[in-house]
Amino acid sequence: MEIHRLPARSDNYIFVLRDPNSATAAVVDPADAPPVLNKLRELNAQLVAIFNTHHHNDHVGGNRALLKQFPSAQVYGSKQDDGRIPGQQHYLKDGDKVTFANRTAQVLFVPGHTRGHIAYYFAPSAANEPGELFCGDALFAGGCGRLFEGTPAQMQPSLAKLRSLPDNTRVWCAHEYTLSNLKFAASIDQGNDALRSRLTQVIQQRNQNQPTIPSLLKEEKSTNPFLRWDTPSLQTLAKSQDPITVFGHIRAMKDRA
């Protein structure tokens, strides 16, 4: 399964998945249709599936136009988003499976950013290959999504579910927010050498207009404060050892930053 990262809007990423054995393609969170259609023409691929993580327009805005060009394409989304995702035909819940390119993805229900948010996790196809996590706006490189429809009590367990995936999982999140996320992270986790090193690298990447996505989940576990609620210095900052309280405190700080 090939993964093609397409920039869209001001800071979105759309992901086109291609099966080289069948000349078919799927797309994850098509903010807009034109970049997807251009890539499909370039790949000479037929779109067969649209995988949406949640209902926000910058993740589903291209659905209808893509369906006009590929009316048999199947649209997947959360059962909780019934009526909110254009063209939706499949209503997914935690533990469901979807398949593409002879790969099976596990559906993970990860509410918090929205009430219906899901993620798609493709386990490695071989021992020496990474897993692939398409997590929309739940988990970002160095950050996490704002709690538009959810609470810390929902979001922290959702992130714990993602954190439990293997270290060699590539994190394909839907926005290029890494630099600002890591600057905030460095301001509250000042003793973290791995974080300082990552921030230096990301500054260099962004100065050269290079993408920072995907990241590796191993790196997120060591540098992303929203996955580090059990870190003593962050517990001290939040004056609590309760994971939800620590997460909620850090999320509130980021909202004010």
CATH of the domain at 168: 3.60.15.10
Candidate list 90, 175, 189, 249, residue with the active-site label: 175
User: Which of the residues 113, 117, 189, 249 is marked catalytic?
Assistant: 113
Average pLDDT over residues 191-197: 96
Rounded percentage of the chain residues whose pLDDT exceeds 70: 100
Spatial CA neighbour of 233 closest among 195, 178, 207, 200: 195
Catalytic site includes residue 58: yes
Beta strand segments in the chain, E:
2-8, 12-19, 24-28, 46-51, 74-78, 90-92, 97-100, 103-109, 118-122, 131-136, 139-140, 143-144, 169-173, 215-216
* Per-residue pLDDT tens digits for 46-63: 999 999 999 999 999 999
Concerning whether 54 is annotated as a catalytic residue, the answer is yes
Mean pLDDT of the chain: 97
Contact assessment for residue 178 and residue 203, using Cβ atoms and an 8 Å cutoff = no
Per residue in 124-177, pLDDT (tens digit) is 988 899 999 999 999 999 999 999 999 999 999 999 999 999 999 999 999 999
**pTM for this predicted structure:** 0.97
Give me the pLDDT at residue 232, please.
Answer: 96
Percent of the chain with pLDDT over 90: 98
Q: How far apart are CA 39 and CA 234, in angstroms?
A: 43
Q: Establish whether 19 is a catalytic residue.
A: no
Mean pLDDT along residues 23-34:
98
Instruction: Give me the pLDDT at residue 234, please.
Output: 97
59 catalytically annotated: yes
242 catalytic per annotation: no
Which pLDDT value is given to residue 127? 86
- Residue 17, pLDDT score: 98
The pLDDT of residue 240 is: 97
Q: How many domains does the chain have?
A: 1
Q: How far apart are CA 8 and CA 175, in angstroms?
A: 9
Residue 86 phi/psi, 5-degree rounding, is -60, 130
The boundaries of the domain holding residue 109 are: 2-256
Q: How confident is the model at residue 257 (pLDDT cuts 50, 70, 90)?
A: confident
Check if 90 is active-site: no
Task: Tell me the per-residue pLDDT of 74-103, one tens digit each, with 9 for 90 and over.
Answer: 999 999 999 999 999 999 999 999 999 999
